[in-house]
Each structure stands twice: as structure tokens, then as C-alpha cells.
Amino acid sequence: MKPKIKLVQTADGVNYLVPFVLITTLFFLWGFAHSILDVLNKHFQDALSISKTHSALVQAVVYGGYFLMAMPAGEIIRRYGYRAGVVTGLLLYGIGALMFIPGERIMSFEFFLLSLFIIGCGLTCLETAANPYVTVLGDKESSERRINLAQSFNGLGWICGPLVGGLFLFSADGGSGSIAIPYAIIGILVLLVAIVFARIHLPEITLPEEPTGATTTCERSSLWKHRNFTFGLIALFFYVAAQTGINSFFINYVTEHVNISAREAALWLSFVGMGLFMAGRMAGSWVMGFIRAERLLAFVSAGAIVAMVLVIIGLGNISSGAFFFCFLCESIMFPTIFALAIRGVGEHTKRASSYLIMSIVGGAIAPIIMGYIADTINTATGFIVPLLCFIVILAYAIDLQKKKK
């Protein structure tokens, strides 16, 4: 039997290849939405003459949407199923993207923030549905490998975001380009995908019933007795904080330290940084067939710590190269932490997934802190924030390994 079929097959022979392929397309769409933010950050600094701290609100409103929408998204999925969560997310994503068309005429930073907040709410629904759904489309022992494979297509979206954003938002002569065109294209595409998902059938994976509102406090709190979940919730918060902070100020850092244009920096981020990010996710799914997920997580978090130290020191091309090594290390962190955190929570899976998606709010906080440090000290010093975040992730990986022994 082919390995790729085993990956999406249960022990009793049920094959989930088709729903796995369909859901995996969503990973690309939200990867694109997140990565184009890193170009928007620098674009707004130049086009609207705002500070780094102010431009960091771009990330804050999107990731803030995760915090506010995660529980409602979880409730939609619990009551109406995974497909309803996906369609709701796609509709919000598409509407928010199309709002950039009038936004370009208004050129109001606040209006753009509202559009991005709506997109963030849509992405919350998508991630709350797709991440746990992928982990149960097959044998539970291969859940970490399965979500890493799906997330590799998320990495493809991360490549396309800076590429498209850099080409449309930064003109060749160093000026600002059109912000409406890329969002109009993605908005129309997302709404078409919503129509497709509204008309297809996705199998609902039956798990034991989740606790309802009538359950006792003791029963409802039992989820928090799973140490891998509670520590994983913290680790995921710090991972998203680190990733968002690094991506948000990568263009600022390299334009200041390597003397290249913002357009060139966006292409570096796309082809090299996000290319390694995607390659790492694809390789991660294969590597986990030989190395336990928690051990691999420890290795890559240690590597990311070293990379951030080099970035903070500021060694020119060496520090720029350290960014790319860090992107490779980051690649498997989110899906691995997510899968490890919900391992063994059983009937609490959907509720646990909602809490984990709420932890993505870390991406709203780190860029603002880093922007403030960049405005008051310098950009390089701001990367102490992701350094501290990776230390927390390393501690989580070590804790999981101790639990295994």
C-alpha cells in the first residue's frame, strides 16, 4: 500500500484522500492572506507616512480577529459541522478582501484596518475548522505528519503573498503601486471557492460528544488537565508572536542593513524565505516518519534561537542569512505544536482547537512591541521579542520529551 494513502487512511480501512485534498486548498488561501500583510506593513509606512508602531496595527487587527472570533467559530463548527465553518470563513475572507477596492479610493488607514479585521475573522473560521479536521482524516498516530503535509501548501501561500504584494504594492521606481488589484483578485477567487464548498459533501468525523452547557464545572475543566494542551496553548501563542514579528519587520531590517529596495526585499522574503518555509514543511512530514515530533521541535526551536541571536548582533549578510535559516526552522513549528497540543484530548478536540486558534492573538501583540522598540532604539533590537518566544517553545518541546520517558 502506498505511503501517501496510509497517511489519510484509518486503521479500519476508511480512506479520506479526497476530503484531505479539498481541505488542503484552504491552507494555501490563508497562507497568502497572512504573508501579504508583511508587505502591507512597509507599504503603509511609505504610502501613508506612518511609524513602524502604527503600521504594526495591520497585524494587530487580523490576529485580534482570531481572539474574538475563535469561540464563535468553534460554536458554528460544533453545531453545524466543519463545512459550515469553512464556508463562513471563506465568505468573510472574500468580503474583507473586496473592501480594498473602495479602500484604495478612500486611502484611510482605519478603513483598511476594518477590512483586515473582517478577513481575520474569516481566517479564524477556516483555521478552526481545517486544522483539527486534517488531524483526524486518518490514523491518529500520523496526525502530526498529516497536518505538516497540509501546512506545506500553506507555505506555498506564504511564497505567493510577498511575491504578489511586492509586485503590485512597490513599483519598480521605488514608489507605491495599487493595493486594490491583488485583493480584488483574491476576493473573487475566495468567493468562488466558497461556492464550491457550499455544494460539496465533507464527511463529518464522529468523535465522542463534547461537553455541553449543562455539564458540571469539573467536567468542563477536564480539558485543562491535559498538560500537553495547556503548555501547547502557551507555546502556540509565542510561536505566532515570533513568526508574525519576524515577517513584519524583515523588509525593514534588510533594507536598513543590506541596502536593497523594499521591492527586492519582498522578493527575497517570497522566493528565499518563504521558499525555505514551504520546503521545511514538506520535508517535516517525511522526517517525522523517523524522528518523534517533540524531538524535532526541540531541534528547530534551538536553531531559531541561534538565528535570532545573529540577527540582533547585526552582522550584515550573515545576519540576513540567519533569517533564512530561521524561516526553515519555523516551518514545522505551528502544525507540530497544534497536533501535539490536541493529542489525547478526545471529546474536547473541537473546543481545544478553538482555544488554540485564540492563542494566535500573539501575532497581534509582538509586532506592536517590536515596532515600538524599532522606533525608539533600532529595528535589530526588536528581534529580542521572537528570541524570547523561541525559548518558550524549546521549553515546551523539552517538557514533552520528559513526559515520554
What 3 state SS string does 40-104 have? HHHHHHHHCCCCHHHHCHHHHHHHHHHHHHHHHHHHHHHHHCHHHHHHHHHHHHHHHHHCHHHHH
Q: Is 208 part of any domain?
A: no
Q: Identify any residues that bridge with 170 across adjacent strands, giving them in sequence order.
A: 176
| 196 close to 86: Cβ distance less than 8 angstroms | no
Question: What is the number of structural domains in the chain?
Answer: 1
In a domain? residue 213: no
Report if residue 210 sits inside a domain: no
Is residue 357 in a domain? Answer: yes
Contacts 24+ apart (CB under 8 A), 206-214: 207/136, 207/346, 207/347, 207/349, 207/350, 208/346, 208/347, 209/347, 210/78, 210/347, 210/348, 210/349, 210/350, 210/351, 211/347, 211/348, 211/351
Would residue 5 count as lying in a domain? no
Question: Do 312 and 383 contact (CB within 8 A), yes or no?
Answer: yes
Residue 224 pairs in a beta bridge with none
7 belongs to a structural domain: no
Comparing C-alpha atoms, which of 95, 75, 94 is closest to residue 85?
75
Q: Tens place of pLDDT for every residue, the chain, 405 residues?
A: 444 446 777 777 777 888 888 888 899 998 999 989 888 888 898 888 899 999 999 999 999 998 899 889 988 988 888 889 999 999 999 999 999 999 999 989 999 999 999 999 999 999 888 887 887 787 777 777 788 788 778 888 888 988 888 888 876 665 567 889 999 999 999 999 999 989 887 776 655 544 444 444 444 557 888 888 999 999 999 999 999 999 999 999 998 988 888 888 888 988 899 889 888 888 887 888 788 889 999 999 999 999 999 999 988 889 989 999 999 999 899 989 988 998 878 778 778 888 888 898 999 999 999 999 999 999 999 999 999 999 999 999 999 988 765
CATH number of the domain enclosing 260: 1.20.1250.20
Measured in degrees and rounded to the nearest 5, phi and psi for residue 15 equal -105, 125
Residue 15, beta-bridge partner list? 9
Contact present, 393 and 338 (Cβ < 8 Å): no
In-domain check, residue 60: yes
Residue-range definition of the domain harbouring residue 359: 14-201+218-404
Residue 209: inside a domain: no
Closest CA to 225 of 74, 392, 352: 352
